[in-house]
Amino acid sequence: MLAALQLAIVAGLLVWRAGDDGAARPQRVASPSARAARDAPAPTAHRFDRARAMRLVRLQLAAGQRPAGSPQLRAVAERLRALLPAGRFEDVPDHPGLRNVVGEIPGTAPAVVLGAHYDTEYHPPGFVGANDAAAAVATVIEVSRTLRRTARPAGAPAIRFVLFDGEEEPKPTDDFYRDALRGSKAYVTAHPGETRAMVLLDYIGNRGVQLPREGSSDPGVWRRVRAAAAQVGVAPVFPDGDEVSITDDHAPFLRAGVPAVDLIDWSYRYKDTVNDTYNKLAPASVDAVGETVVELLRTWR
């Protein structure tokens, strides 16, 4: 699904943390299996409706496998567009049948983009992508609903909600950036200078979710994310450390000079398998990430 430099690790996940002298040191955190046995902490804020978000996950999964350009994905896209503020489609040039779904809450320019991809892998047969990335799509939509009725500071930036088509590669590839990320590359090309920062959601719904800083993510935006998480009581979900760099839909924004972060639990054990199903998700994880993102965007100025 995504290209990444994977580290061989025994009995746990290593993330990298800077010591007092500035040197990077490995920090051991709980193994994926151990973390999967416990839920994310309950947020102290209650703006995000996790039950509604989980219903949106089920809506997507009911359509089955949804590869880019497929009739089932286009049908789902119609439902998603209607749920975003001022929702619209943007075609992906040179890829007939592909289209991003875009919504917006007005504010000052340039906008902050909150994104997720809504297509699934074309293989293996039967792959429905509960965590890759139906949970992220549902979170983006529920965040948009929450922020529409939430007061923000004077001069707050516009917020664009973008569901990217064609994130997954259409065929086996040795260059994921070249052949995949079709919707995010098209969006960046079509909207030069219109984005001040970008937050991408990907694997965020699994039980025991842990979201250290993805290796290529912008440190400044990452500090904002962690501050928002601490404010709503879920700081343990965003540990102080780095994971591997991952080629994902934030990469075209980074290459265009836009500060961007990718919230993704790369240790998710069911990624790219037919076992990435609804029962692998935890409402508590979706809630923790949803409340964090609402707080992040609610207070952005």
Burial 220-236 (b: 16+ CB within 10 A, else e): ebbebbbebbebbbbbe
**Least confident piece of the model among 4-13, 80-89, 167-176, 279-288:** 4-13
Does 133 score more than 60 pLDDT?
Answer: yes
Residue 234 has pLDDT above 70, yes or no: yes
How much is the pLDDT for 5?
39
Q: Residue 32: which pLDDT band, with cuts at 50, 70 and 90?
A: low
Mean pLDDT value of segment 271-278:
98
Across 6-15, 57-66, 89-98, least confident range: 6-15
pLDDT band at 36 (very low <50, low <70, confident <90, very high): low
Residue 9 reports pLDDT greater than 80: no
Contact 265, 120 (CB under 8 A): no
Q: What is the structure's pLDDT at 38?
A: 79
Segment 176-199, tens digit of pLDDT: 999 999 999 999 999 999 999 999
Length of the chain: 301
Q: What phi and psi, each to the nearest 5 degrees, are found at residue 294? A: -60, -45
Q: Which domain holds residue 281?
A: 3-298
**Domain total for the chain?**
1
What pLDDT is recorded for position 63?
98
Give the mean pLDDT of 28-46.
72
* CATH number for 100: 3.40.630.10
Question: DSSP state, 132?
Answer: I
Residue 22 has pLDDT above 60, yes or no: no
Say if residues 80 and 118 touch (Cβ distance below 8 Å).
yes
Among the residue ranges 7-16, 69-78, 117-126, 290-299, the one predicted with the least confidence is: 7-16
Calpha distance 185→169 (Å, rounded): 13
Quote the pLDDT of residue 21.
34
Mean pLDDT of 229-242: 97
The residue among 113 and 14 whose pLDDT is bigger is 113
Distances (CA, A) of 128 to 6, 43, 64, 122: 24, 28, 6, 10
Span 127-140, mean pLDDT?
A: 98
The residue that leads in pLDDT, 130 or 33, is 130
Which pLDDT band, with edges at 50, 70 and 90, does 37 fall under? low
Average pLDDT, the chain: 91
* Per-residue pLDDT, 250: 98
Each residue's pLDDT tens digit, 151-163 = 999 999 999 999 9
Whether 123 shows a pLDDT value over 80: the answer reads yes
Residue 176 pLDDT: 97
User: How far is 249 from 177, CA to CA, in rounded Å?
Assistant: 9
What's the pLDDT score for residue 165?
A: 98
Cα(161)–Cα(180) distance, integer angstroms: 20
pLDDT category of residue 14 using cuts at 50, 70 and 90? very low
pLDDT of residue 44: 97
34 falls in which pLDDT band (50, 70, 90)?
A: low
